A and B are shown apart, each in its own frame.
Chain A
Amino acid sequence: MDIPHNKQIKMLETMILSRKFSDTLVELCKIQGKIPGMMILSTGQEAVGSGVCAALEPEDVIITNHRSHNHLLAKGADPNELMAEIYCKKTGCNKGKSGTLHLAVPEVNAPCTTTVVGATLPIAVGRAFAQQYRNENAITVCFFGDGAADEGSFHEALNLAALWQLPVIFLCENNMYAGAQRYEEHTRVKDMAERAQAYNMPGIIADGNDALAVYTATLEARQRALEGKGPTLLECKTYRCRGHGETDPQHYQPKDEIKAWQDKCPIPRLADALVKAGIIPSSKLEEMESIADNIVQDAVRFAEESPYPEPHEALEDVYVD
């Protein structure tokens, strides 16, 4: 497939931004008290969010999980507001109610991040149902990990979506681990995509470290959904280069395995491809890096300079008035 050059460039920009964003968070987490709560990053998995979102239109919806930063940035969420929310500040996209884990950015059709593992799938079924109901020319993608595919919600959601031929892509981001558990330690199926057979929907596997492959697979699944042909289970094989969260010592992940996957980093891979294909000059890479760096530094400054919410603001937003 010929992928438009601007799309390819966009994917690379998004991945670079996303990596800068998480690397900065790693540094911030080392400073005691800077960032409250947990810190769950998707370093090494950037090609998935970037590839998927590049294949979507603004009216398409994503529902994402605890490892959401990359998905949200790729969908176009404002880095300042994301960073401020991660800092739990008043100017954050959710006024400090969410913090890093449940970022909701309905403005870019990313209305729900849930940390309840497996919960993205049934919610996406509902969102896709609304799109079908209203005859919208749009689809829903839900992100979930390989671990989430073991929850009952996975099976119930796939069955219903297939039955009603809903316009949804079940996007399994298989990073080979669920918590401290390796893929083979939590399921017998060789590929999660196999499970699609049980619901009579396509189960597609893409190289999750190849943004272009993810993009192409998503575009095809989206087209099917728009034609009324129903859901797709799309499994993107990738790897979690850091721990489950930033306090996880990764004692169960072999060092050489991590190293091998770091060598397969999706960012230089796409960068090299674009340079080789003459889509960008190699000098452009430095410029992209520095633009991303500025965006993230601005976001950090914005977050740091923002106030915390006032304590009584905790009472707001429980109900619609």
Chain B
Amino acid sequence: MQKLGMGQAVNQALKEEMYRDPNVFIAGEGVGVSIHVNPMFPTHGLLEEFGPARVKDTPVSEAAIAGLAVGAAEAGLRPVVEIMFNPFFTLASDMIVNHAAKLRYLSGGKSSFPLVVRIKSGAGFGAGCQHSHNLEAWAAHCPGLKVVMPSTSADAKGLLKSAIRDDNPVIFIEHMGLYFAQMPVPEEEYLTPLGHADIKRPGRDLTVVTWSGTLGAAMNAAEQLSRDGIEMEVVDLRTLNPLDKETILGSVEKTGRLIVMHEATRTAGFGAEVAAVVMEEGFKFLKAPLKRVTGPDIPVPASPPLEKFYIPDENDLIKAAREILDK
């Protein structure tokens, strides 16, 4: 099987979908001629392959990029636009939050907006909080949007292809820390359906629900705990909205214990939603109060020791796991 970084997997998905459907085009700052000539980056080589009519470099103007997607999608095109770093979603957010998410509803179901907003995200680059701020909870809080956050290259490819074919606006958030790790990706055409979590590692003693950049830490923690005879089930959410409650509840029913782990800050983070769902619908399964392992409620600092302090890691998860199991 081919091994790809997540950026390359996204690239492959874009390429396949652009060949399949002439309505698909991509736009964004530097999606064509990029300062990042690195082949590990998602839109590398697409301009050469598809030409400037379908690979549109835009000015630095996020509101226009997002508005372009909204207007073009209503006309039946399938825009895949890029927001360079998650914090700049705020500049695109009028178009996404007030328009992409609402115009179908406002039309009484007459219009649809089959667009994808790809957003690069994640801490770990020493770039500071105006480049590193995970805002998935903002997007997931908007009815009308779907929110996807893959943690492996294979999922990224299958999920992005589904997102492009979906008739709704989809926010597709890529953790840049995953662009470089080579992971197996099937060669043949496949779609990973939106709205389905994936059990990345089965276990019987406790469940960790996670997504995106923190999956790796969860897998490492599970491996280490396993050496001590503790089997942690790792549930990778993959899609935040719609939320796969069934898989979460099924896992908690099996293990009786839940930790939610994410890189974004804690207060009003998406972990709170997962926790609330389990309290409402799975309280009877719980043998212990659930826990959250998240970034602290601070902006992401630039200095390496501070940034490391910010990012929740496997040690934080192992500690929480031992606490919840009381060992």
A interface residues (Cβ-Cβ under 8 A, vs B): 36-38, 88-90, 95-102, 114-118, 147-148, 150-152, 178-181, 185-187, 243-245, 247-249, 251-252, 308-315, 318
Q: Given A37-B125, A244-B35, A89–B303 Cβ distance below 8 Å?
A: yes
Instruction: Specify which of B129, B301, B304, B308 lies most central, judged by the most chain A CB atoms within 10 Å of its CB.
Output: B301
Cβ contacts under 8 Å, A311 to chain B: 305-306, 308-309
- Cβ–Cβ contact B130 & A115, under 8 A: yes
- Cβ–Cβ contact A150 & B35, under 8 A: no
Alpha-carbon distance A96/B302, docked complex (angstroms): 6
- Cβ–Cβ contact A248 & B303, under 8 A: no
- Cβ–Cβ contact A101 & B91, under 8 A: no
Grouping DSSP codes into helix (H, G, I), strand (E, B) and loop, the A interface class, with mixed when no group exceeds half, is loop
Q: Given A36-B304, A96-B303, A313-B306, A150–B61 Cβ distance below 8 Å?
A: yes
- Cβ–Cβ contact A118 & B60, under 8 A: yes
- Cβ–Cβ contact A116 & B57, under 8 A: no
Cβ contacts under 8 Å, B91 to chain A: 116, 151-152
- Cβ–Cβ contact A314 & B29, under 8 A: no
Alpha-carbon distance A186/B61, docked complex (angstroms): 10
Q: Given A116-B130, A117-B60, A88–B302 Cβ distance below 8 Å?
A: yes
Q: List 27 A-B contacts (CB under 8 A).
A: A36-B126, A38-B127, A88-B304, A88-B306, A96-B301, A96-B302, A96-B305, A101-B127, A101-B128, A102-B130, A102-B302, A116-B88, A117-B60, A118-B60, A151-B91, A178-B60, A181-B59, A243-B35, A244-B35, A248-B35, A249-B37, A251-B37, A308-B304, A309-B306, A314-B296, A314-B307, A315-B296
In the complex, whether B238 has a CB less than 8 A from a CB of chain A is no
- Cβ–Cβ contact A114 & B130, under 8 A: yes
- Sorting the interface of chain B by its residue count into under 10, 10 to 19, 20 to 34 or 35 or more gives 35 or more
Identify 13 new A-B residue pairs, CB closer than 8 A, beyond the known A88-B303, A89-B303: A36-B302, A96-B302, A101-B127, A102-B129, A116-B88, A117-B60, A147-B59, A181-B57, A186-B59, A243-B35, A310-B305, A314-B296, A314-B307
Alpha-carbon distance A147/B88, docked complex (angstroms): 15
Q: Mark B107-145, 1 if CB is under 8 A from A, else 0.
A: 000000000000000000111111100000000000000
Instruction: Specify which of B62, B63, B297, B303 lies most central, judged by the most chain A CB atoms within 10 Å of its CB.
Output: B303
- Cβ–Cβ contact B60 & A37, under 8 A: no
Alpha-carbon distance A152/B63, docked complex (angstroms): 8
Grouping DSSP codes into helix (H, G, I), strand (E, B) and loop, the B interface class, with mixed when no group exceeds half, is loop
In the complex, whether B181 has a CB less than 8 A from a CB of chain A is no
In the complex, whether B75 has a CB less than 8 A from a CB of chain A is no
Q: Mark B285-327, 1 if CB is under 8 A from A, else 0.
A: 0000000000011110111111111100000000000000000
Alpha-carbon distance A318/B87, docked complex (angstroms): 18
Cβ contacts under 8 Å, A118 to chain B: 60
- Cβ–Cβ contact B125 & A186, under 8 A: no
Cβ contacts under 8 Å, B33 to chain A: 180-181, 252
- Cβ–Cβ contact B305 & A180, under 8 A: no
Q: Given A101-B131, A180-B30, A116–B303 Cβ distance below 8 Å?
A: no
